[in-house]
Structure 1
Amino acid sequence: MVDRVTLYRSPTTVADVDELAAWLRERIDAAVTVRDRFLDVHRTDGLAERFAEARVPSPYERETGNTMLGTIRYEERALDHPEREGGVLYDGLQVQRALNAALPEDERGLETLHVTVLDRAIGTWGDHDGRWHKRVNVLGQPALVSVPGLYEAPAKPEAYYKEKQRHALLSGDAPPREVLENQVEGDFLVEDDPRTTDALKGYVLQAYHYLETGEAFCDREGCRLFNAHYHEDLIDAQLREPAFCGEHAQLYERA
């Protein structure tokens, strides 16, 4: 039984964790509190090295980690100056184990769920196709919710990738957001999207639902507990009504 949920802010992203907490309070029978960035509140000496060990060097190689001194120094700087971190994919399960070890011993029990909203891209290895897959969240203790993952993990419309490639060939850099939105048909989230906080609500609830019931995701498209693999499905599940399928509406739809 989860008695308390602690959410951690992600100050380098547009995610409003206080709003996430307020939304969650209205739907669950547990106390919900907010703390500052997990990597500040629960900083431990070996954390930079643990992040270095969790780095994914290649999308098609299972082996992770680069613990050369320069990489560890980079991770130390990223802990101190998170706004400078970017472009690195981490093994979400390794990061989860590292952050679990960083929790005080009396806070590791499953009656207190920790949900850390991260400004880092996380992934899990797919045995079925031999490659890494970016994820929005990794469930467990603590639960990880990746803001970059919200934009990058689900597949966007095919035209998005074509337009991005075309723009890069012409100008040498990534196209501005408004160019993509005007040129590409279909709805999708991009970095710093104003809909970020609303879209993350279901992913935070998934973390609670998993610990409380043992059910990872809902298999009904359109439910906030659905694990969307395409942006179109993500928007349908997280940003359109109804918020829940019939079964989960009984649990989480409050008047």
Structure 2
Amino acid sequence: MVEQVTLYRAPTTNADADAIADWLGERTGVDVEVRDRFLSLRTDDDLATEIAQTRVLSPHERETGNTMTGVVRYEERALDRPDRAGGVVYDGLALQRGLRERVPDAERSLDHLHVALLDRVIGTWGDHDGRWHKRVNVVGQLTLVSVPGLYEAPAKPEAYYEAKGKHALLSGGAPPREVLESEIEGDFLVEDDPRTTEALKGYVLQAVHHVETGEGFCECEGCRLSNPHRQPGVVEAQLREPAFCDRHAEKYK
């Protein structure tokens, strides 16, 4: 059983780690501690190179990693100034394995779960279709929760892509994201969305639930433990009532 959770902040995002920690403690009865950014607390001379080794090079290429000097320098700058980073996808499982080794030895048991909110986009490889898929979280010890992944991983409403294609056809190029987001009806999360903290609560709870029960995502649409692949499903699961399916409502109050 999980007895303690350590949650790490992502200060360049609008995710409120303290609010998430309070909610998680109320739902699980677990002691939740909040620490500063994981990549800042656990950095050393090798971290930038290790992160560069997990870079996704192409959406349809399984091989990852680029440790050329310029790329490593970029990762060093991103560690120092994370607000200037972006536009890169990282292999979530490889990054998880590497960062897990940086958790203190005395805190690695499964009764002490570590969850890092990240300002990076993470993905996993799909053997079924031969391409990378962006993810909101990669659960386990340590769990990674991507704040930008909340906006980018789940697909937006069909109308969004239809409008994007229409703009491209008429003007020869895609319009700015902000223009599309303002034009499309429907509920979906956007960068710096004020609902970010509330939506992330369920993804952090998924980490605790997985370690405690060994279960994967809930198959019931609308439950905070489900894993919707489209933005309207995320809004329904994480921001609408009821918060849980009947089975998980009993467990998480």
Aligned to 1:121: 121
> What is the CA-CA distance between 1:171 and the residue it aligns to?
9.1
Larger deviation: 180-189 or 65-74? 180-189
Aligned to 2:18: 18
Aligned to 1:130: 130
One-letter amino acid of the structure 1 residue matched with residue 204 of structure 2: V
Structure 2 residue matching 1:220: 3-state secondary structure: coil
Within-5 A mapping of 1:63-142 = 63-142=63-142
Distance 1:205 1:24 in 2: 7
For the Cα contact (< 8 Å) 2:59–2:131, is it kept in 1? Answer: yes
Within-5 A mapping of 1:173-252 = 174-175=175-176, 177=178, 179-252=179-252
Distance 2:156 2:181 in 1: 12
Q: Deviations over 1:160-186 (max 9, x none)?
A: 123345556749674353x43442122
Distance 1:83 1:174 in 2: 24
**Percent identity of the aligned residues?**
66
One-letter amino acid of the structure 2 residue matched with residue 89 of structure 1: V
Structure 1 residue matching 2:237: 3-state secondary structure: helix
For the Cα contact (< 8 Å) 1:167–1:175, is it kept in 2? Answer: no
Aligned to 2:158: 158
For the Cα contact (< 8 Å) 1:50–1:98, is it kept in 2? Answer: yes
> What is the CA-CA distance between 1:144 and the residue it aligns to?
0.4
Q: Evaluate the alpha carbon distance shift between residue 180 and residue 173 of structure 1 in structure 2; reply closer, same or farther with a 3 A threshold.
A: closer
For the Cα contact (< 8 Å) 2:165–2:174, is it kept in 1? Answer: no
Q: Deviations over 1:47-104 (max 9, x none)?
A: 1111100000100000000011111111111111101110000000011011101111
For the Cα contact (< 8 Å) 1:139–1:216, is it kept in 2? Answer: no
Normalising by structure 1, we get a TM-score of 0.94
> Cα RMSD (Å) of the superposition?
1.5
Aligned to 2:4: 4
Work out whether 1:28 is the aligned partner of 2:18.
no
For the Cα contact (< 8 Å) 1:16–1:197, is it kept in 2? Answer: yes
Unaligned runs of 5+ in 2: none
Larger deviation: 101-110 or 159-168? 159-168
One-letter amino acid of the structure 1 residue matched with residue 42 of structure 2: H
For the Cα contact (< 8 Å) 2:6–2:34, is it kept in 1? Answer: yes
> What is the CA-CA distance between 1:11 and the residue it aligns to?
0.6
One-letter amino acid of the structure 1 residue matched with residue 15 of structure 2: A
Aligned to 1:45: 45
For the Cα contact (< 8 Å) 1:44–1:102, is it kept in 2? Answer: no
Unaligned runs of 5+ in 1: none
> What is the CA-CA distance between 1:192 and the residue it aligns to?
0.6
Distance 2:39 2:167 in 1: 36
One-letter amino acid of the structure 2 residue matched with residue 157 of structure 1: P
Q: Evaluate the alpha carbon distance shift between residue 196 and residue 222 of structure 1 in structure 2; reply closer, same or farther with a 3 A threshold.
A: same
Distance 2:71 2:94 in 1: 17
Distance 2:26 2:90 in 1: 33
Distance 1:174 1:37 in 2: 34
Q: Evaluate the alpha carbon distance shift between residue 171 and residue 6 of structure 1 in structure 2; reply closer, same or farther with a 3 A threshold.
A: farther
One-letter amino acid of the structure 1 residue matched with residue 222 of structure 2: G
One-letter amino acid of the structure 2 residue matched with residue 175 of structure 1: P
Structure 2 residue matching 1:39: 3-state secondary structure: helix
Q: Deviations over 1:124-169 (max 9, x none)?
A: 0000000000000000111000011100111111221233455567
Residue-pair matches, total:
252
One-letter amino acid of the structure 2 residue matched with residue 244 of structure 1: F
One-letter amino acid of the structure 2 residue matched with residue 129 of structure 1: D
Distance 1:51 1:18 in 2: 27
> What is the CA-CA distance between 1:233 and the residue it aligns to?
0.7
